């Protein structure tokens, strides 16, 4: 992974995320060797788990690229038709099923974030309660105890599942940032069939998401033999 972001993908959110990752990388490198590529892969896995997805154990050991990709792929669901989205994913060795799982996961993360922010904005509390809440937000990680004590509490209801895909089928996606993803998933019969499968079988969605994400994090991997 290169430290630079192509102009096409330089959205405010992407730039903020990259800035955060670079800051984390600098802190970790004081005592450890860590690549930005590993942090991106780990950050995505943590984002999934924070909203309630099953844990994804990310393999580390990636090397950062020394130069920018001369042919970067633009985030495909922004303006491209479904056929072009599939082509971009297929060129990266990802199939229709994995495309639906990954875009469905992205929609679920945004859904949980939106609902959490809405709940926080509409909550009625006194100034004392607000002060108490601020104190409760202080998090000191530990290597012992329950999962929340080690990694921090999950976001909102942490009800990650196939709710976004269900809303896609019902044409009830209101978030502007997700509407184009929803349109893409419904514009192709092959993709829609997987949307229908996972919208009606949340257990299967939860089971298959980790493997699809791991496949994404291993794109471009290469190995050498002892004699190479």
| 225 found inside a domain | no
| 84 found inside a domain | yes
| 227 found inside a domain | no
User: CA distances (Å), 207 to each of 136, 161, 198, in order?
Assistant: 33, 10, 10
What pLDDT is stored for residue 6 in this prediction?
59
| 228 found inside a domain | no
Rounded Cα gap, residues 23 and 30, in angstroms: 12
Specify whether the CB–CB gap between 102 and 94 falls below 8 A: yes
Those residues whose C-beta lies under 8 Å from the C-beta of residue 40, and which sit 6 or more positions away, are: 1, 21
Indicate the SS3 state at residue 214. helix
| 44 found inside a domain | yes
In this structure, the number of other CB atoms found within 10 A of the CB of residue 148 comes to 10
**Residue 27: enclosing H or E segment and its boundaries?**
helix 12-28
Exposure of 104 by Cβ count < 10 A (0-12 exposed, 13-18 middle, 19+ buried)?
Answer: buried
| 107 found inside a domain | yes
| 158 found inside a domain | yes
Angle of helix 176-186 versus helix 96-122 axis, rounded to 10:
150
What pLDDT is stored for residue 71 in this prediction?
73
| 205 found inside a domain | yes
User: CA distances (Å), 10 to each of 5, 14, 78, 162, in order?
Assistant: 6, 6, 13, 29
With residues binned 3-state (H G I as helix, E B as strand, rest as coil), the percentages for the chain, rounded to 5, are 60, 0, 40
Q: Can you give the residue range of the structural domain that contains 191? A: 7-217
What pLDDT is stored for residue 81 in this prediction?
78
Kindly provide the residue ranges of all beta strands, DSSP E only, lying in the chain, ordered along the sequence. Answer: none
How distant is the alpha carbon of residue 134 from its chain centre?
27
What pLDDT is stored for residue 37 in this prediction?
83
pLDDT (tens place) for every residue of the chain, 228 residues total? 555 555 555 677 778 887 887 787 776 666 566 788 888 888 899 999 999 999 888 887 777 777 777 776 666 666 677 888 888 888 888 999 999 999 999 999 999 998 888 888 887 564 445 555 544 454 444 555 566 555 667 888 889 999 999 999 999 998 887 888 898 899 889 999 999 999 999 999 999 999 999 999 988 766 555 554
Rounded Cα gap, residues 169 and 178, in angstroms: 13
Based on the structure, what is the number of domains in the chain?
A: 1
């Amino acid at each position: 992974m290169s430290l630079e972001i192509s102009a096409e993908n330089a959205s405010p959110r992407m730039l903020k995320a990259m800035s955060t990752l670079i800051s984390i990388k600098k802190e970790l490198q004081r005592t450890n060797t860590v690549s930005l590529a590993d942090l991106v892969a780990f950050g995505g896995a943590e984002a999934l788990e924070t909203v309630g997805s099953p844990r994804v154990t990310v393999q580390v050991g990636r090397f950062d690229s020394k130069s920018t990709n001369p042919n970067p792929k633009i985030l495909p669901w922004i303006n491209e038709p479904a056929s072009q989205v599939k082509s971009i994913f297929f060129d990266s060795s990802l199939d229709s099923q994995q495309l639906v799982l990954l875009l469905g996961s992205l929609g679920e993360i945004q859904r949980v974030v939106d609902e959490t922010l809405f709940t926080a904005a509409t909550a009625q509390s006194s100034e004392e309660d607000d002060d108490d809440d601020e104190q409760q937000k202080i998090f000191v990680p530990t290597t012992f105890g329950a999962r929340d004590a080690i990694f921090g509490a999950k976001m909102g209801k942490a009800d990650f599942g196939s709710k976004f895909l269900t809303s896609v089928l019902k044409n009830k996606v209101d978030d502007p940032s997700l509407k184009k993803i929803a349109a893409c998933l419904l514009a192709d019969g092959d993709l829609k069939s997987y949307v229908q499968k996972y919208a009606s079988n949340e257990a299967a969605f939860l089971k298959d998401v980790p493997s699809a994400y791991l496949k994404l994090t291993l794109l471009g991997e290469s190995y050498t033999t002892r004699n190479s």
